[in-house]
Amino acid sequence: MRAAATTEGRRTIPLVGVQGPGDSVRKILRRPIPSHPLAVPPQPGTFGVWQVRRVRDAPIGYVLSRSEGGDTVYHCYAHGRDAAGGRPWLRTMSSLNSAVAWMVQHEGELSHLTSTLQPEPEEWPI
């Protein structure tokens, strides 16, 4: 089996493991934007953070996506602030759908947790 290679001008350069930064960016941009009917981004068409809710006045919590070890993971956070001013972390999931599903399945527990927290300082934009 022959290793993959690319040609630049007259030179043939073997592709070993990591490709150029442009290839990485193209790979990221080709990925579909994650979405879920109950996950609302702060602005339409954006991604990276979502408020999970059935109705605007009663959010269940938040999901934040991050790259960890080359994979995208989705962190679930409660709706409200703890004594230190941060949102309590709840769980990490492998997809937005899994994160939203877990939050909906635990909505009762999360509602109780929210009642013990300080309110969010700002309203979600949409």
Segment 3-50, tens digit of pLDDT: 566 666 677 666 555 556 666 556 666 777 889 999 999 988 888 999
Does residue 124 belong to any structural domain of this protein? yes
Is the whole-model pTM more than 0.95? no
- Domain contains 82: yes
Range(s) of the domain holding residue 112: 36-126
Residue 5 lies in a domain: no
**Residue 103 belongs to some domain of the structure:** yes
Residue 117 covered by a domain: yes
Does some domain include residue 71? yes
| pLDDT digits 0-9 by tens, 51-76 | 999 999 999 999 999 999 888 999 99
**96 domain residue, yes or no:** yes
**Domain count along the chain:** 1
Return the HEC string of the chain: CCCCEEEECCEEEECCCCCCHHHHHHHHHHCCCCCECCEECCCCCCCCEEEEECCCCCEEEEEEEEEECCEEEEEEEECCECCCCCCCEEEEECCHHHHHHHHHHCHHHHHHHHHHCECCCCCCCC
